[in-house]
Amino acid sequence: MPYSPLLVKPMREELTAIGFEELMTGEEVGNWPGAKEGTGLLVINSVCGCAAGMARPGVRLALEESDKKPAHVATVFAGQDQEATAAARGLFPQVPPSSPSMAFFKDGELAYFLPRHRIEGRSAEDVAADLKSAFAEHC
Amino acid sequence: MGTFHTGKHELHGITVVVETEGEETFVGRCDDMDDEKVILLDVDVHRAGESEVSKEDYLRQAAQWGVFAKHRHLVVDRSKVTAVNRLGEL
C-alpha cells in the first residue's frame, strides 16, 4: 500500500525544489528528453529512510558543487507513481530494480547507474562524490 | 528526511550478502537478524552447484548492479550462516 501523499510530499519537494521535473505517468517518462539526447539524470525516489534519506541530499550537493551538470534532471517516485516508475525502469531493463537509485543517460544510452546498495548507509557527501565523478566524466 | 524503523537489527534496510556453510549465497535486503535467523526481503540466491556463474563472478556482478529478486521474503537459518556483509562494501 502506498504511503500517505502527505508523508511523501516533502520527499518529492526535496528534488522538485532544486529543479527536478517530476514524471508521474508513463507518457511523461517516454517524452522526457533526458533519456533521448544530451545528458540526463533520472532519480528513482523512495520513502525508505535507510537509503533515500541520504540520496536526496547527495543529489542536491552534487548538483550544487559540480561545474558540469546534466542538462535534464527528472524523478519518479517508486511505490507512489507506479506507472511512471515501471516506465522509468523500462529505460534500463538490464539493471535490477532498486530504489532509491539514479540513472545517468548520455545521448540516449545509460552511462552510469547508482543502485540502492551503493547509497545505503553512506553519507550525502559520499553519494555526491560518486555523482560528481559521473558528471565530470560524462557531462 | 525519510522513514526510519526502530527495534530492528542495525542492518535493517541494508542490502547484504549472506554466505552459508553450504552452496547457497543469498543477496537481499536485511529486514532483521537475531541468533536464530536472518530475515531477507527481495532476495536472490546463488547455488554454487547449479549455477554456470561462479560465486565470485556472481558477487562481482551483484556489487555493480544489484540483483533481480526471486524471493520476496526469505528466512535463513542463522546456524548455517558463515558471514553477513554489506553488498555495498564488496
B24-50 per-position pLDDT tens digit:
999 999 999 999 999 999 999 999 989
Instruction: Give A4-7 contacts, CB < 8 A, sequence gap 24+.
Output: A5/A80, A7/A47, A7/B3
* Contacts B68 to A, Cβ<8 Å: 96-97
User: Rounded to an integer, what distance in angstroms lies between the CA atom of residue A111 and that of residue A131?
Assistant: 12
Q: Which DSSP state fits B62?
A: H
**B14 and chain A in contact, CB less than 8 A:** yes
Q: Is the pLDDT of residue B4 over 60?
A: no
Map out the domains of chain A with their CATH numbers. 5-138 (3.40.30.10)
Give me the residue spans of the domains in chain B.
Answer: 15-89
Helices (H) and strands (E) in chain B, counts: 1, 5
The 10s digit of each residue's pLDDT in A75-108 is 999 999 999 999 999 999 999 999 999 999 999 9
Model-level ipTM above the cut of 0.90 = no
Among A3-17, A45-59, B60-74, name the one with the lowest average pLDDT. A45-59
Is A29 strand, coil or helix? helix
Query: What radius of gyration, in Å, describes the C-alpha atoms of chain A?
Result: 13
Q: Do B4 and A49 touch (CB under 8 A)?
A: yes
The 10s digit of each residue's pLDDT in A50-83 is 676 899 999 999 999 999 999 999 999 999 999 9
Which option is the CATH number for B15-89: 2.60.40.1120, 2.30.30.100, 3.40.50.1820, 3.40.50.300?
2.30.30.100
A interface residues, B as partner, C-beta within 8 Å? 3, 7, 10-11, 14, 46-53, 94-98, 113, 115-122
| Residues belonging to chain B | 90
State the catalytic residues of A. Answer: 48, 50
Q: Which of A10, A51, A97 sits opposite B13 (nearest CB)?
A: A51
pLDDT at residue B1, rounded to an integer: 42
User: Rounded to an integer, what distance in angstroms lies between the CA atom of residue A105 and that of residue A70?
Assistant: 9
pLDDT at residue A58, rounded to an integer: 96
Place of cell 533515500: A52
